[in-house]
Amino acid sequence: MANRQSDEKSRAEQVRARRQQNRKKQPQVSTVGTSATRKQPTRTVPVTRRTSTSVPMIKRQGRKVDVPLKTKGAMLQIPALPRLHIGWRLISGAIFSLSLAVVITFSSLGTFKVSAINLEGAERLTPETLTAQLGLTGTAIIKVQPDDLETRIVALFPELSSVKVSVGLPASVTIKVVERQPLIAWYQDGTTYWIDAEGVLFPASGETPVSQTVYATGNPPAAYVPLAEDTGEEATVKETAETESLPGTALQKATTTEFVQGVMTLLNYLPENSALQFDPEYGLGWQDPQGWLVYFGKDIENIDLKLIEYQMIIAKLSEENLTPALISLEFLHAPFYRLER
């Protein structure tokens, strides 16, 4: 054992000796010398480190409601109902659904169907006649269009000068009308029509007294309406006859206001026990008490001169002991008469 320890010591001493010998053999380098042998200072490059910023997670805790218990100071927390965020799409969908339900309700329930109408301002026209012509009974109130209904009424009843329709819930239809006042009774083809001051013709109805009656063998002069015609440069106005007829007749709906004024003027010169007549060829006139027919044309201008000329023709024929069958003064400067055959 002692020998082994001595061997280890000798080995350690040998190692130390070798190290000392090696140090002696290596040449010593001078620290003072040229710049090439001078130790260069080391440059330190700054190193940046990117740190990732992570968004902290936020835990949203649901709302809670504290409910007091019977025990003093004791509270019970329970989760509250979530908040509802209502968008515009949900609102518009709800409005559409509600509107659809209202339309279906109005169309199906009998409460919202028209059973009668309220007629105001009429003296000759009855609500029963108006309802029968329009066919409104049983119609849903939402299907009644006032503008369309007004147009239909005016077309069906020319005796009305104005029509105003209003509707209301649950099924109210009110029609306010203004009736035309007849000025002339026009008797043609076994039927009596009335003419108002504007020249509008309409069927006679009711008990309205009309003292002026014209017995006609044809339609009165048609009213003319101005129509604009595009010629490419500027619009020109043409006169076009109003050929639209009364429902179920061949009689037009209107005549000229000048013709109406002519009838009223000629009535002032009508002999007693005579009736005013109209012929489409010769115009307005009457049958003289002595038996012949006299016509003054469709234009009653210069009626005073025409009457003077008529008296002169009668006097001339009486002198010659002639009895005319017809005398025409339609043209003031070209009158003529026709003798009996």
Residues 240 and 307 reside in one and the same domain: yes
Residues 191 and 166 reside in one and the same domain: no
Spatial separation of the C-alpha atoms in residues 178 and 139, rounded to whole Å: 25
Looking at residue 175, what DSSP letter applies?
A: E
Residues 237 and 172 reside in one and the same domain: no
User: Which pLDDT score is estimated for 48?
Assistant: 56
Q: Which residues of the chain have pLDDT under 70?
A: 1-9, 23-63, 65, 78, 80-85, 102-110, 224-251, 341
Which residues sit opposite 249 in a β-bridge?
none
Spatial separation of the C-alpha atoms in residues 316 and 309, rounded to whole Å: 11
What token pair was written down for 308? 């003077």
- Going by C-beta distance under 8 Å and a sequence separation of 6 or more, which residues neighbour residue 280? 217, 218, 219
* Beta strands at 293-295 and 64-68: parallel, antiparallel or unpaired: unpaired
C-beta separation of 276 from 213 below 8 A: yes
DSSP string, 226-282: EEEEE-SSSEEEEEEE--PBPTTSSSBSBB-HHHHHHHHHHHTTPPTT--EEEETTT
Q: Is residue 62 part of a domain?
A: no
Which residues sit opposite 64 in a β-bridge?
79
How many residues does the structure list for the chain?
Answer: 341
Residues 146 and 258 reside in one and the same domain: no
Q: Is residue 165 part of a domain?
A: yes
* Beta strands at 172-179 and 184-188: parallel, antiparallel or unpaired: unpaired
- What is the residue range of 140's domain? 97-179
User: Which pLDDT score is estimated for 137?
Assistant: 86
User: Which pLDDT score is estimated for 153?
Assistant: 94
Q: Is residue 19 part of a domain?
A: no
Q: Is residue 308 part of a domain?
A: yes
- Going by C-beta distance under 8 Å and a sequence separation of 6 or more, which residues neighbour residue 226? 237, 238, 239, 240
Which of 179, 196, 228 is the endpoint of a domain?
179
User: Which pLDDT score is estimated for 98?
Assistant: 81
| CATH number for the domain that contains residue 219 | 3.40.50
Which of 154, 179, 204 is the endpoint of a domain?
179
Residues 140 and 280 reside in one and the same domain: no
Listed in sequence order, the DSSP H helices in the chain are: 2-25, 88-108, 127-134, 146-156, 257-267, 303-319
Fill in the amino acid letter for 328. S
pTM: 0.62
User: Which pLDDT score is estimated for 170?
Assistant: 83
Which of 149, 179, 209 is the endpoint of a domain?
179
Q: Is residue 267 part of a domain?
A: yes
Q: In this predicted model, what pLDDT tens digit does every residue of 10-29 receive, in sequence order? A: 777 777 777 777 766 555 54
* Beta strands at 75-79 and 283-287: parallel, antiparallel or unpaired: unpaired
Fill in the amino acid letter for 129. T
Residues 323 and 211 reside in one and the same domain: yes
User: Which pLDDT score is estimated for 308?
Assistant: 92
C-beta separation of 142 from 106 below 8 A: yes
| CATH number for the domain that contains residue 159 | 3.10.20.310
User: Which pLDDT score is estimated for 212?
Assistant: 86
Residue 16: in which H helix or E strand, if any? helix 2-25
Tell me the Cα Rg of the chain.
Answer: 58
Residues 153 and 209 reside in one and the same domain: no
Residues 228 and 277 reside in one and the same domain: yes
User: Which pLDDT score is estimated for 24?
Assistant: 62
Q: Is residue 82 part of a domain?
A: no
Q: Is residue 257 part of a domain?
A: yes
C-beta separation of 335 from 327 below 8 A: yes
